[in-house]
Amino acid sequence: MSEALATGKVVNTVQAIPMPVVSPRLAAMWKRGTDFLGCPVAILAGAMTWVSERNLVSAISNAGGFGVIACGAMTPELLDTEIKATRSLTSKPFGVNLITMHPQLIQLVDVCAANKATHVVFAGGVPPGDAIRKAKAFSKVVCFAPALVMAKRLIKNGADALVIEGSEAGGHIGPVSTSVLAQEILPSIREVPVFVAGGIGRGEVIVSFLEMGASGVQMGTRFVCAHESVAHPRFKQAFIRASARDAMPTVQLDKRFPVIPVRALVNQGTEAFMETQRRVLDKYLRGEIEQLAAQLEIEHFWAGALRRAAIDGDIENGSLMAGQSVGMVTREEPIAAIIAELLNQADAALASRS
């Protein structure tokens, strides 16, 4: 659900934002990515629950990037409303991120179909084959690949593009760093575009991944403090004050109950999650709850904790999900300024290679 849905607040309106100036050299390097996304800047926005809603998504797309709605725990009805609202704010392409463990996943895909979504991004696990097939009938399908073997499997199952996200990212993360994933996967996957994610905060590193064979990148943390973001001012200030070492992953308590680690700024909410994990683990080990239901209970905890911080401003008890690139977030500024800075840094890096 978006803040606009929750409160009626709309901070972004349709604006004639000039498209960013992309140098010919950079445009050539990420042409495969821009062709796939349908925008001039091959920066895919990370889907952040409560934050990646109509205002931020449309602003990113209007500024030349590729915004992505975070469906999270939305019902099909809420997602339908959010897609329509986003389209009222931008005529540019944007995507919809769906969590694979959502109990109404197929219905959410149907909502995307009814709204003629051009790109569906499956996250949070391996998407079922029927979900991929239904999505491919009307859109391009993007999947997350945590390892080379999974990348090959997802392509075989129909993925049109991949995101490889390292452990430096915010929110749910895997165990392998971005740099290692890039070395493992980029030289071996040529069939589809690959976007690199996790810890990316400057244009120079974008260039380095493009040189390795990436078609573009995904970024989330860098956009949280945009003017167009509906995140609470206290949430944004927590990002601006934080350093990279403040964004830490949670710990899995028992290997018999796999819980995907979450990277966030450490606060009292972190301990609340550990206590929730202990309680749910005890219920699971006593046979009182099935594994999927237990995992969904933990996901619901995160959704509520993230709302408390990102929307309500409770930065002590809520969840401050952030990637390690949070140390490079130093001020609140417009999306267009963020993208322009990244492009300038990328062009400067390319110029230094001449």
Distance CA 67, CA 59 (A): 8
Res. 298: pLDDT tops 90: no
Q: Which two structure tokens, joined as six digits, stand for 151?
A: 């990348």
DSSP 265-300: E-SHHHHHHHHHHHHHHHHHHTTSS-HHHHHHHHHH
pLDDT in tens, 59-102: 999 999 999 999 999 999 999 999 999 999 999 999 999 999 89
The helix (run of H) or strand (run of E) holding residue 172 is strand 171-172
pLDDT in tens, 151-208: 999 999 999 999 999 999 999 999 999 999 999 999 999 999 999 999 999 999 999 9
Distance CA 282, CA 274 (A): 12
Average pLDDT over residues 46-64: 97
Q: Give the model's confidence band at 341: pLDDT under 50 very low, under 70 low, under 90 confident, else very high.
A: very high
Determine how β-strand 94-99 pairs with β-strand 43-45: unpaired
pLDDT in tens, 30-47: 999 999 999 999 999 999
Res. 53: pLDDT tops 90: yes
Identify the residue with better confidence: 276 or 121.
121
Q: What is the reported pLDDT for 254? A: 80
Distance CA 32, CA 342 (A): 19
Q: What is the reported pLDDT for 256? A: 76
Write down all domains in the chain, each with its CATH number in brackets.
Answer: 3-230+329-352 (3.20.20.70), 242-324 (no CATH)
Helix, strand, or coil here: 34? helix
DSSP state of 262: E
Res. 14: pLDDT tops 50: no
| Angle subtended at Cα 69 by Cα 206 and Cα 167, rounded to the nearest 5 degrees | 45
Average pLDDT over residues 91-117: 97
Q: What is the reported pLDDT for 71? A: 97
pLDDT in tens, 131-156: 999 999 999 999 999 999 999 999 99
Is residue 325 within 8 Å of 169, Cβ to Cβ? no
Determine how β-strand 94-99 pairs with β-strand 119-123: parallel
Q: What is the reported pLDDT for 303? A: 83
Alpha-carbon Rg for the chain in angstroms:
19
Q: Report residue 56 CA to chain centroid gap.
A: 12
Distance CA 275, CA 255 (A): 16
What 18-23 contacts at long range (C-beta under 8 Å, 24+ apart), as own/partner pairs, is: 18/336, 19/64, 20/63, 20/64, 20/336, 20/339, 20/340, 20/343, 21/343, 22/64, 22/343, 23/343, 23/347, 23/350
Distance CA 176, CA 178 (A): 7
pLDDT in tens, 229-287: 999 999 999 999 999 999 999 888 887 777 788 999 999 998 898 898 899 989 999 99
Q: What is the reported pLDDT for 16? A: 57
